[in-house]
Amino acid sequence: MDYEKYWHSSAHILAAAVKKLWPKIKLGIGPAIENGFYYEFYGKKFTKDDLKKIEKEMRKMISEKLKFERRDLKRTEAKKMFKNEPFKLELLEEMGAPSIYTTGDFVDLCKGPHVNNTGNIKEVKLLKISASYWKGDNKRESLQRIYGISFNSKKEIRQFTHMMEEAIKRDHRKIGKEMELFGFNELVSPGFSLMYPNGTVIMEELRKFINQINKEMGFKNVWTPHVAKTELWKISGHYEAYREKMYMFKSGKNQMAIKPMNCPFHVQIYKRKRRSYKELPIRYSEIATVYRNEQSGELHGLMRVITINMDDRHSFVKSDQIESEIKMLMNSVKKVIDIFGMKAVFNLSTRPKKRIGSDEVWDKAEKTLKDVLEKNKINYILKEGEGAFYGPKVDVDAMDAIGRKWQLSTIQLDLSMPERFDLDYLTNKGKERPAMIHCAILGSVERLMGILIEHYAGKFPVWLSPIQAMVLPITDRNVKYAEKVNEELKKSGIRSEINRSQNTLQYKIRDAQTKMKIPYLIIVGDKELEKKKLAVRDRSNKTKYNVSTKQLIKEIREKIDKRSE
| Residues at the site binding Zn ion, with contacts judged by CB under 5 A | 110, 263, 438
Q: CB of 427: closest distance to Zn ion in angstroms?
A: 25
Residue 554's DSSP bridge partners are none
| CB 434, CB 321: distance < 8 Å | no
When the beta carbons of 110 and 449 are compared against Zn ion, the nearer one is 110
Report how far residue 410's alpha carbon sits from residue 333's, in angstroms, rounded to the nearest whole number: 9
Q: From the CB of 414, what's the least distance to Zn ion, in Å?
A: 7
Residue 400 one-letter amino acid: D
Q: How far is the CB of 113 from Zn ion (least distance, A)?
A: 8
262 exposure class (CB count in 10 Å sphere: 0-12, 13-18, 19+): buried
CB nearer Zn ion, residue 288 or residue 512: 288
CA distance 10 to 8: 5
d(CA 151, CA 371): 35
Residue 388 CB, shortest distance to Zn ion, in Å, is 8
One-character DSSP codes across 23-61: TTPEE----EETTEEEEEEES----HHHHHHHHHHHHHH
Contacts of 223 (CB under 8 A, 6+ apart): 286, 288
Give the shortest CB-549-to-Zn ion separation in angstroms.
48
Q: Which is nearer to Zn ion, 172 or 393 (CB)?
A: 393
Closest CB to Zn ion among residues 13, 302: 13
Question: Got the DSSP string for 305-332?
Answer: -SEEEEEEEEEEE-GGGHHHHHHHHHHH
List the beta bridge partners of residue 41. 27, 144
Please, is 98 exposed, middle or buried when counting C-beta atoms within 10 Å of its C-beta (0-12, 13-18, 19+)?
buried
Q: Name the residue nearer to Zn ion (CB basis): 106 or 460.
A: 106
Could you tell me the strand order of the sheet in which 380-383 lies?
Answer: 220-221, 282-291, 307-317, 435-444, 405-414, 393-399, 343-349, 380-383
Q: Strand 254-258 to strand 194-195: parallel, antiparallel, or no bridges (unpaired)? A: unpaired
Q: Residues of 58-80 as b/e, b for ≥16 C-beta within 10 angstroms?
A: bbebbeeebbbeeeeeeeeebee
Q: Which is nearer to Zn ion, 88 or 438 (CB)?
A: 438
Q: How far is the CB of 107 from Zn ion (least distance, A)?
A: 11
Taking the least distance from each CB to Zn ion, the nearer of 30 and 199 is 30
Write down the least CB distance from residue 90 to Zn ion, Å: 17
- Classify strands 393-399 and 405-414 as parallel, antiparallel or unpaired: antiparallel
- Report whether 28 contacts 56 (CB < 8 A): no
Q: Which is nearer to Zn ion, 438 or 447 (CB)?
A: 438
Whichever of 322 and 471 has its CB closer to Zn ion, that residue is 322
Tell me how far, at minimum, the Cβ of 260 lies from Zn ion, in Å: 10
With residue 380 as reference, give the H or E element that holds it. Answer: strand 380-383
13 vs 522 by CB, closer to Zn ion:
13
Q: Is 521 helix (H, G, I), strand (E, B) or coil?
A: strand
Comparison of 110 and 337: residue with beta carbon closer to Zn ion: 110
Asked if 41 and 20 touch (Cβ cutoff 8 Å), the reply is no
3-state SS record for 63-97: HCCCECEEEECCHHHHHHHCCCCHHHHHHHHHCCC
Minimum distance, C-beta of residue 262 to Zn ion, in the bound complex (Å) = 6
- C-beta of 89: minimal distance to Zn ion in Å? 17
How many beta carbons lie within 10 A of that of residue 96, not counting itself? 6
Q: Specify the residue, 263 or 287, whose C-beta has the smaller distance to Zn ion.
A: 263
Q: How far is the CB of 5 from Zn ion (least distance, A)?
A: 9
The nearest distance, CB 312 to Zn ion, in angstroms, is 6
